[in-house]
Amino acid sequence: MAAKDGLGAPISDNMTAEDIALNMKEISVAEFFEKNRHLLGYENSSKAMLTIVKEGVDNSLDACEDAGILPELKVTVKQLGIDRFRIIMEDNGPGVVEAKMALAFGKMLFGSKFHRLKQSRGKQGLGIRGAILYAQLTTGKPAKIRTSTGDAKVHEFELLIDTVRNEPKISAHTTAPNKERWHGVSIELEIEGVYVERAQSIHEYLKRTAIANPYAHIIYNGPNGVLKYERTTNTMPKHPKEIKPHPYGIELGILIRMMATTRSQNVRSFLMGEFSRVGGSSADQILALAKLEAGRKPASIANDEAERLHKSMQMVKLIAPPTDCISPMTETLIENGLKKELEADFYVAITRPPSVYRGNPFQVEVGLAYGGKLNPQGAAELYRFANKVPLLYHQSSCAITKAVEEVDWKRYGLQQSSGGMPVGPLVVLVHFASVWVPFTSEGKEAIAEYPEIIKDIKLAIQDAGRNLASFVRSQRKSREGQMRRQLFERYIPVVAESLEKLTGKDHAPIEMKLEAMVKAGKLIIVEPAEETKTETKKAEPAEDEGADE
Ligand SMILES: Nc1ncnc2c1ncn2[C@@H]1O[C@H](COP(=O)(O)OP(=O)(O)O)[C@@H](O)[C@H]1O
Ligand SMILES: [Mg+2]
């Protein structure tokens, strides 16, 4: 203890190592997020409402897709007081089994998705627990959860999270007979919130979710009425496959941990069994380069040996990871989704071939909607998606935004703001799908700026941009043609009178004939002079991929 003077007061505030040691104790993850709720997207009351709905809807869509069930979702937001709301989220998914109910909703970092390399909306095992914790922090009320797997019973229980121990606290649990054999999950939370219907709102989130997931039927019963997002296809997306990690993406620490816990008998079978694209001969090449014997037990590999092994894994030429683990939205569904929610003149969608960053397969898709009723003023709207989830916050720090701003939009007939965003009646949709989305934070709002990712997004935009450019050009041409026709129409009386003087025939029938010819489009109005044409040619986009690189 620090020294005291005669009266028992500390002489100095300095602490000894022993004082500090007395204060050392484990921090529960739930307590950590109780203090840092902003990390999960709960920094203010309006964003909190959106985050809750997002976590619930993401889980429902993940569960329905895993089970091959066409999603029927119902989101209800009821205002109870000035800043009090009840949010209910219900799905028709597979439900949660009784043995896992409490943990699935009441213990943080406990989930079914973290340990598998498979495309899904949730991953970390925090999402819905964050929402329950927020309700508990702001109103003290437990979450009311109803679930059934479609068997004879529906379970209803009330749950709080014991944050000190990171354990569920069930305050009531009843069961009711399940005559209709209902299956799914319903979560009811009472929270403090602020309701908005502007840009970053539940409305906007559901609208964009409907674009990306057109096989889902979503009913939103909000404080200002009911909104329905109808299903436009009954075809569920291709089921994403789970894959093993690829050697190029593994970090040294993870390799060491994997070797310490593997069941493989020797390091050769470990490489072949736990990584994708490592066959017998690749394993032998890696081991020869690392100067390790094939029969060594993985757990016996020392750290310096592991470092050599890790380096060799990056040096041997291997096939890229399999890409059937990715479930894209597809060009047809993107176009349909944009057409359903936006009134534009032109739509185009591009799905790139899959690519790889840090050994993780990913795929980029871009959709553009242009003209029509889209806002012609100011910067284009950017719709960002990661694994079909709309990202509404942190736009400026996202790889998608960076890629959009790095594209030279002038090549595609559009203006560009000084920051780089295209200007005009345009919506740019970008979807990034991967078995592991490199989010910049636990709130899952922005994608980290890996060069491989930015490059692929730019290539997709350039591809879509070339399609847009031909539309913009033909639209501009027809507009210019129309203007020239209108100009000529104004001069018809003058031309007719001149012709009367030249030919001696009456101007009135000449005038009528000229007007009829303009109307029928039979009059060819001369294009602009040659010099102007060559000038525009120079500014045309280069047609090769990566022209912006
Ligand atoms: N609506 C639901 N239907 C079925 N299972 C669910 C549902 N919501 C949550 N779960 C289960 O609870 C787990 C925890 O969810 P969550 O806290 O959002 O973490 P994450 O989605 O990141 O895994 C999920 O991994 C899933 O297994
Ligand atoms: Mg989740």
Cβ of 65 below 6 Å from ligand 1: no
Enumerate the CATH 1.10.8.50 domain ranges in the chain, comma separated.
247-315
Residue nearest to atom 24 of ligand 1 (CA): 111
Ligand lying closest to the C-alpha of residue 104? 1
Binned at pLDDT 50, 70 and 90, residue 525 comes out as low
Binned at pLDDT 50, 70 and 90, residue 292 comes out as very high
Cβ of 37 below 6 Å from ligand 1: no
What is the arithmetic mean of pLDDT over 471-496?
80
Nearest ligand 1 atom, CA 91: 1
Residue nearest to atom 19 of ligand 1 (CA): 125
Give this prediction's pTM: 0.81
**How far is 132 from 494, CA to CA, in rounded Å?**
78
pLDDT tens-digit series, residues 168-223? 999 999 999 999 999 999 999 999 999 998 888 999 999 999 999 999 999 999 99
Cβ of 101 below 6 Å from ligand 1: no
Enumerate the CATH 3.30.565.10 domain ranges in the chain, comma separated.
31-229
Q: What percent of the chain has pLDDT over 90?
A: 66
Q: What is the pLDDT of residue 537?
A: 43
Token pair for residue 128? Answer: 């819905």
Closest CA to 361 of 119, 62, 114: 119
Token pair for residue 97? Answer: 């089994």
Nearest ligand 1 atom, CA 64: 3
Q: What is the pLDDT of residue 109?
A: 86
Q: Specify whether domain 247-315 bears CATH 1.10.8.50.
A: yes
Interval between CA 48 and ligand 1 midpoint (Å)? 18
Vertex 237 angle, CA 231 and 243, to 5°? 150
- Cα–Cα distance list, 70 to 64, 220, 383, 404 (Å): 7, 17, 24, 33
Q: What is the pLDDT of residue 547?
A: 42
Q: What is the pLDDT of residue 445?
A: 93
What is the arithmetic mean of pLDDT over 249-278?
93
Fold annotation for 31-229 = Heat Shock Protein 90 (3.30.565)
Q: Please state which of the ranges 20-24, 79-83, 227-231, 521-525 shows the lowest mean pLDDT.
A: 521-525
Q: What is the DSSP string of 332-369?
A: HHHHHHHHHH---SEEEEEEPPPEEETTEEEEEEEEEE
548 pLDDT exceeds 70?
A: no
Interval between CA 250 and ligand 1 midpoint (Å)? 26
pLDDT tens-digit series, residues 50-90? 999 999 999 999 999 999 999 999 999 999 999 999 999 99
Residue nearest to atom 8 of ligand 1 (CA): 59
Which segments of 98-142 does DSSP mark as H helices, in order?
98-106, 127-139
What is the arithmetic mean of pLDDT over 454-476?
93
Contact in structure between 414 and 467 (CB atoms under 8 Å)? no
pLDDT tens-digit series, residues 80-130? 999 999 999 999 999 999 999 999 999 988 887 787 888 899 887 889 999
**How far is 160 from 102, CA to CA, in rounded Å?**
10
Cβ of 111 below 6 Å from ligand 1: yes
Select the CATH number that applies to the domain covering 331-471 from these four: 3.40.50.720, 3.30.230.10, 3.40.50.700, 3.20.20.70.
Answer: 3.30.230.10
Ligand lying closest to the C-alpha of residue 148? 1
Nearest ligand 1 atom, CA 120: 21
